[in-house]
A = this chain, B = another copy of it.
């Protein structure tokens, strides 16, 4: 059952990582291409250390990866991790929507029978 726990913990980290407007802005920026910590920190009115912490949260969640370019460590978005999140959400969203359609059908049938 360790695999299940691992997967749950990974979902915890990924959803928690996106539950912050700063980190979502970082994701939005990185979707347009790689960037360094200093470049990412520039638009924010907070210290570089704080942004570095946010980046570590995203990295630990698997949403971004880092590479090495001299003394720089550019961040890259990991679309596959984002895809896993939409897959999780869609699983239950689609089941629920199917339920709703089924209910609509039942209600429609009842309405027909009343005529």
Contacts and interface: CB of A to CB of B under 8 A. Distances in A.
Interface stretch (A40-48, A77-85, A105-113): A77-85
A18 B82 CA distance: 14
- The complex is assembled from copies of this chain, and their number is 2
Interface residues of A, number: 34
Interface of A: 8, 11-13, 15-16, 18-21, 24, 27-28, 30-33, 77, 79, 82-83, 85-86, 88-93, 95-97, 99-100
B15 A19 contact: yes
Given A19-B15, A24-B11, A82 B77 contact: no
Contacts of A28: 92
Q: Which of A11, A28, A31 has the largest number of chain B CB atoms within 10 A?
A: A31
A86 B83 contact: no
A22 to B, nearest CB: 10
Contacts of A15: 15-16, 18-19
Contact of A93 (B11, B19, B83): B83
